[in-house]
Amino acid sequence: MNKTLVTDLKQGMMLAESIFAQNGSILVAEGTALAGSIIKHLQEMGRRYVYIYDENTIEADPGEVLVSRVLATAQNKIHSYLPYELYPESDTGVRARYERLNKSLAEIIGDPKVSDFLLDLRTIDESTLEHSINVCIFSLLIGAGLDLPDNLMAYLGTGALVHDVGKILLPPEVRGDLSNLSEKEQQAYQEHTNAGYRLLREKGFEAPVAKVALYHHERWDGGGYPTKLAGEKIDLLSRIVNIADVYDSLTGPLAATRYLPHEAIEYLYGAGDMYFDARIVRAFIYNVAIYPLGSVVKLSTGEVGIVVNVAKNISSRPIVKICYDKNNQKLKYYHQMDLYQEKTVFITKVLL
């Protein structure tokens, strides 16, 4: 926008900032195209300058920009974790699921109640917004695998996206690195569940959504928080988000010991029926391609390759196109290795 002298105003220019009367009421609103009578009035008021939209600048609404960036990120992730073109039923089942999830995502992220929180999630710390998007994607993929109806899918995706929103009310010392918290600080941290529930209810979110914030740290054996509910007493949506949350935390940048995707799956599988609902762990394993297509991975043989294919139900053992040998020399002819067949070879590192 341009700061423009009132004497230089011309009819049709568009006001970029509202003009207020002395009592605080809006005299001429932002976005108004200036008519001759308004310009004359401004001159009579003794006003010296106003702000005018410059036709060479495009002003963006920060809320809208964030919504479209979050949506694009989320849709990219869905495409990576549900590579529908590879599965045998690509013409029907998986493609329909992919389209359904994309539509749900647009509705969830575009909901003004949700988009109001996106900036808050971004400011909690460097990774909370990214983590929230991942948890939303994994939860929706599990929910679709369990054939949840549309209304539950909407609650699930929304609850997953805002599950940690209570953290905005935490004191700064219990945000970010949680590895060395005192007992008192841990209790303060755990309050983000109750705080999230209250905040979401105050903002008009439905109870099933707010419950996800409340119960996403409960554990199947009753050892979680804040209420120590166990088994099916923990609502289904919170059990799903809990598994998505633990998986992303184990494999994410803030993990004390960062797990490889298949190691995190082994942990979930091993702890299933103790810490987690084993049925949901299975739904995760069957419905999320944990090594997205295009991941660059290093193998235990020392070779480096790209994940080019993934078989349904065994996504922790993808097919890798080997591009570099164990001496880091680029191969003239690439070849494929199916890790499901080559049982002694495993992924040791995700490079990209």
Instruction: Please give the residue ranges that form the binding site for Fe ion (CB under 5 A).
Output: 164
Closer CB to Fe ion, residue 256 or residue 352?
256
Nearest distance in Å: CB 74, Fe ion? 19
Query: Measured from the CB of residue 294, what is the shortest distance to Fe ion in angstroms?
Result: 29
Q: Which of 349, 325, 329, 328 is nearest to 337 (CA)?
A: 325
CA distance 157 to 300: 36
Q: Is 53 or 215 the residue whose CB approaches Fe ion more closely?
A: 215
Q: For residue 295, how many other CB atoms are within 10 A of its CB?
A: 21
Cβ of residue 223: shortest distance to Fe ion, in angstroms? 16
Q: Which residue number is nearest to Fe ion in terms of Cβ?
A: 164
Torsion angle defined by CA atoms of residues 215, 216, 221 and 227, in that order, rounded to the nearest 10 degrees: -30
- Whichever of 83 and 159 has its CB closer to Fe ion, that residue is 159
> In whole angstroms, what is the distance from residue 59 CA to residue 152 CA?
37
Number of other CB atoms surrounding residue 268 within 10 Å: 22
What's the alpha-carbon Rg for the chain, to the nearest Å?
26
Residue number, 225 or 346, with CB nearest to Fe ion: 225
Residue 109: alpha-carbon gap to chain centroid: 9
Q: Which is nearer to Fe ion, 135 or 260 (CB)?
A: 135
- Cβ-based nearer residue to Fe ion, 193 or 295: 193
Pair 301, 307: CB distance under 8 Å: no
For residues 164 and 191, which CB has a smaller minimum distance to Fe ion in the complex?
164
Q: How far is the CB of 100 from Fe ion (least distance, A)?
A: 27
The string over 75-111, giving b where at least 16 C-beta atoms fall within 10 Å of a residue's C-beta and e elsewhere, is bebbbbbbbbebbeeeeeebeebbeebbebbeebbeb
For 336, the token pair is 């494929």
> At closest approach, how far in Å is the CB of 85 from Fe ion?
34
Q: Answer whether 161's CB lies under 8 Å from 110's CB.
A: no
